Amino acid sequence: MGRTVVFANQKGGVGKTTSTVNIGAYMAAKGKRVLLVDLDPQGNLSSGLGVCGKILGTYDVLIGKVPAAEAIVSTPQENMSILPSNLSLSGATVELADVEDRNTFLKRAIAPQVSAFDYILIDCPPSLGILTLNGFVAAQAVIVPLQCEFFALEGFMNMLSQTIKRVQSSLNTELLVGGVVFTMYDSRTRIAQEVIQQMKAAFKKNKEFLFKTIIPRNIRLAEAPSHGVPINKYAPACSGAKSYAALTDEVMRRV
């Protein structure tokens, strides 16, 4: 049975999509069958892999228009597929608002795919609304990409102390915190180093909570989506690629 992992952070621009696609790509390169689920109406995960336009996607699956199998498409990375998204998904937040069991739609929709893939990676929108809660309920573990900036740290602590704990207590008692991965690290800035030190101090009794691999700021990581491929296809020798390769090994050991 495949492992389902959700990438979440209520703050935007912290590396959720970048982490989802590149960890997935390195898993697939190791021969694992990987499904990416784009749960963000902005559809950056999809467009960054060259999947866009008027296609079936997450929205159609959530509302029951089609089964997930009919909406899944292949990607440039062998062994990696995607359940894509587009702006239609934004309507789901309204359509599902008053529906009973609205937080379990994604879990039920992808249940038939769990045995077909080794890993299912879910990319959430930068919010803590219905879509993200669906991601939490569908997953076995949550990974939190954390940009090395003060406001990102503040937002994470609020999410951990409130949302994740609430989900664990009532919606998904089996959800584990897979860990925090530091992203966009710039060793030249004092704040980046301070954020890491604060996190290490906060979790000194649970050091395994923090991934050892730190993702640096890297222009190649930013360029890869415009070419429709993950970093291992675009610039495999760059520092960002090497970091995600190492991070993937950590993720596979943990979750």
- DSSP letters, 82-123, are EE---GGGGGHHHHTTTSTTGGGHHHHHHGGGTTT-SEEEEE
pLDDT digits (tens, 9 = 90+) for 143-199: 999 988 777 676 777 777 688 888 999 999 999 999 999 999 998 888 888 888 888
Task: Give the span between the Cα atoms of 179 and 177, in whole angstroms.
Answer: 5
Q: State whether residue 54 is helix, strand or coil.
A: coil
Of 14, 34, 9, nearest to 24 by C-alpha is 34
Domains of the chain, CATH where assigned:
3-254 (3.40.50.300)
pLDDT digits (tens, 9 = 90+) for 2-41: 999 999 988 888 999 999 999 999 999 999 999 999 999 9
Region 110-121: mean pLDDT is 96
In percent, how much of the chain has pLDDT > 90?
68
Task: Inform me whether the pLDDT recorded for 203 exceeds 90.
Answer: no
Q: State whether residue 141 is helix, strand or coil.
A: strand
User: Per-residue b/e over 72-89, b at no fewer than 16 CB within 10 Å?
Assistant: beebebebbbbbbbbebb
Task: Give the span between the Cα atoms of 120 and 4, in whole angstroms.
Answer: 5
Question: What's the confidence (pLDDT) of residue 52?
Answer: 81
CA distances from 186 to 27, 61, 148, 182, 193 (A): 26, 39, 8, 11, 8
